[in-house]
Amino acid sequence: MKVLLLLGLVAVALCEPTKFVGDKVLRLTPGSEEDVTVIREIGHKIKVDFWKPDNPDVVTIGMNVDIHVPAAQLDMVFTILQQSSMEVEVMFENLQEAVEAQMDDKRATKAHDYTKYNNWATINDWVVSISSANANLISRQVIGNTYEGRPMHLLKIGKKTGSTKPAVFMDCGFHAREWITHAFCQWFVKEAVSTYGSDSEMTNLLDRMDFFVLPVFNIDGYEYTWTNDRMWRKTRSRNSGSNCIGTDPNRNFDAGWCTIGASSNPCSETYCGSSIESEIESKNLANFIRSNKSIIKAYLTVHSYSQLLLFPYSYKYGLAADHSELLSVSQGAIAALRSLYGTKYTSGPGASTIYPAAGGSDDWAYDLGVKYSYTFELRDEGRYGFLLPESQIKPTCEETMLAVKYIASHVLKNLY
């Protein structure tokens, strides 16, 4: 009986979500090479979680570096920081409070809500119901299952004309903890179907092209952020020879794979995987895009946070063949976005605008021949980071819609 009770307690402990009581998020701004070395030393010697950038090795002078430091590691981190005169700002005094404050509990509901964060079960039901309720504009298919066996639903949105139309492919939720991204894909689908017929731009887009929307890419990871660890980033696949779980799916594609800004260590948050497309989710997405390459004219992948609109390349510093057009379209898109609430975005090639990172889906899609390939990094710039409050879902999604429509309209006028 005692053994059973003990096992029961262990089971309960294993199911208890990770708490972040006393954890802090620090913003470090290195002013010298010595400061950069200090940050890298913290990253390599102490178990901390790099929020931005996601890898200590890409830190450079003048960059804002946001690090989540567990309570148990704070003394050690502050001891190291005292040896430098680096600027340190505490972004979160107690991370657990921020995790709890993210949800607007006054509106707690189990039903699907576009202005709340919805868990996977709710999103899964929503996918089925919205496609059934809008059969004239939406069709649904499963492009494969995740590592843990969950269906990867893809929605195709557009007027059914009976002929092949050019398409935009958009995915959300590559990194599990970036909850605002999942919210945006759901918002986009709602806006597309609810404004068709009344908004002339959206009506024209849906009449003449299709949108493939993958509302949640890394479903297993997303589910895990609800049940176990809000700060989980990677997939949930097992790695042979290691106890560490998961791969960074945005380092898992055939684009300078595992060369720069990615790690071959399975315990790293930027682990590139055992091979190109080792993750079933990556393979499912890549297979779909490869099979539909002739019609997919744009690839949009939605991440957070930083308020950026990036385009190739991230795996190298060289400019893309279509650099000038990609830049001008990105500048038009962020101007459209800013027109609503004044939110300032920066645009440019990934490597030089933020930091180099190999194996990204945007670079892979571009090299495959999808010219208009963009990565969004949604709100904010670090005040809330991955814990953007639900009160910001609506304005974030509204402004991002303007940028997506701007890009899609450009694509439609410049088919290739």
* Cα-based angle 215, 221, 224 (whole degrees, multiple of 5): 115
- Model confidence pLDDT, tens digit, residues 208-237: 999 999 999 999 999 999 999 999 999 999
* 126 and 224 together in one domain: yes
The answer to the question of residue 114 being in a domain is no
For the entire predicted model, the pTM comes to 0.95
Q: How many domains does the chain have?
A: 2
- Model confidence pLDDT, tens digit, residues 335-386: 999 999 999 999 999 999 999 999 999 999 999 999 999 999 999 999 999 9
Q: What is the CATH classification number for the domain harbouring 226?
A: 3.40.630.10
Residue from 384, 383, 379 nearest 395 by CA: 379
* 79 and 38 together in one domain: yes
Q: What is the CATH classification number for the domain harbouring 61?
A: 3.30.70.340
Residue from 265, 95, 86 nearest 77 by CA: 86
* 89 and 151 together in one domain: no
* 69 and 126 together in one domain: no
The answer to the question of residue 11 being in a domain is no
* 63 and 145 together in one domain: no
The answer to the question of residue 363 being in a domain is yes
* 143 and 200 together in one domain: yes
The answer to the question of residue 106 being in a domain is no
DSSP code for 278: -
User: Radius of gyration over alpha carbons of the chain, in Å?
Assistant: 21
**% pLDDT > 70, the chain:** 95
**Contact (Cβ atoms closer than 8 angstroms) between residue 113 and residue 186:** no
The answer to the question of residue 111 being in a domain is no
List b or e across 241-263, with b for residues whose CB sees 16 or more CB atoms inside 10 angstroms: eeeebbbbbbbbbbbbbbebbbb
The answer to the question of residue 303 being in a domain is yes
Question: Is 377 among the catalytic positions?
Answer: yes
Hey, what are 395's tokens? 């304005």
- Treating both helix axes as pointing N-terminal to C-terminal, what angle do 280-291 and 361-368 enclose, rounded to 10 degrees? 30
| Euclidean distance between CA atoms 212 and 170, whole angstroms | 6
* 85 and 174 together in one domain: no
Domain span holding position 91:
24-95
Residue from 263, 338, 308, 415 nearest 52 by CA: 308
List b or e across 202-228, with b for residues whose CB sees 16 or more CB atoms inside 10 angstroms: beebbeebbbbbbbbbbbbbbbbbbee
- Model confidence pLDDT, tens digit, residues 250-295: 999 999 999 999 999 999 999 999 999 999 999 999 999 999 999 9
| Euclidean distance between CA atoms 21 and 100, whole angstroms | 11
Domain closes at, from 80, 95, 110: 95
Annotated catalytic residue within 178, 377, 381, 390: 377
| Euclidean distance between CA atoms 21 and 90, whole angstroms | 15
